[in-house]
Amino acid sequence: MLDAEIHSESVHRQRQGKYLGDFVYGANDGIVTTFAVVAGAAGATLSSGVIIILGLANLIGDGISMGMSNYLSLRSKRDFERQQRSIEEMEVEKFPEKEREETREILRKWGIPEAHVEGALAGVVADKKRWVDLMMRDELDIIESHVDHPAKHGVATSLAFFVAGALPLIPYVFHISGSRFLVSIIATAVSLFFVGAARTLVTKMPWFVSGLEMLIVGGVASGAAYLVGAAVKAFFGIGLQGVL
């Protein structure tokens, strides 16, 4: 009964957090980079039309780039791990005595008394997969990620980027009356906080602290972009007056 509960909890956590990292990674970058474009353009007093063009270009270009980068990174990591496992399996098959001696050294480093090393060794080598698992972890320092579908993670990253990154552009795209930049600031701040708070689903950090942390990081980046836009306009005279 206990084993079933442990297995159920393990599966639950694995499914719960499977794509959360991609969501947070993509959504956070989508919000921050798109709003940074909006803030920089607002600092330079560019027109709403220019802001929409720059924002959408960033949204599409960076969103695809981030998804592809995540896909390639995960695929490369998975392929490397599989290659190393294949080599380790070959060494276990062809050089068992050498691998046994390496395993003895690992067991000794664990603090297993010398009198019990051979018994522990026999238990490890009796199961080839378990033996290779041990060598991967303790000899090669490789913690396998077991990512089966890197493409799905890449798509999740891009989708999160597109959806979250579109929020700062909403007041400009839909011609909301009043201060569009102020509405964009509010939408961005709320989004950053909720994306940060969502990390607690797997990190177990206090949701308020996690949300505030991401809000501060995004705010610093966006503030810097606004100052750059204002500085460029002030020093170089670049900018178009527009309704913000």
pLDDT, one tens digit per residue, over 137-149 is 999 999 887 777 8
Measured CA distances, 38 to 48, 77, 107, 163, 167 (Å) = 9, 35, 57, 16, 11
pLDDT of residue 149: 87
> Domain range for residue 54?
2-236
**Average of per-residue pLDDT across 208-216:** 89
197 located within any domain? yes
Q: What is the pLDDT of residues 226-239, one digit of tens each?
A: 888 888 878 876 55
Number of domains the chain contains: 1
Would residue 32 count as lying in a domain? yes
Q: Is residue 242 part of a domain?
A: no
Decide if 45 is inside a domain: yes
What's the confidence (pLDDT) of residue 17?
Answer: 59
Cα 224 to Cα 226: distance, rounded to the nearest angstrom? 5
Does residue 39 lie in a domain region?
yes
Inside any domain, residue 244:
no
Query: What is the reported pLDDT for 5?
Result: 40
Residue-level length of the chain: 244
How many angstroms separate the CA atoms of 225 and 208, rounded? 26
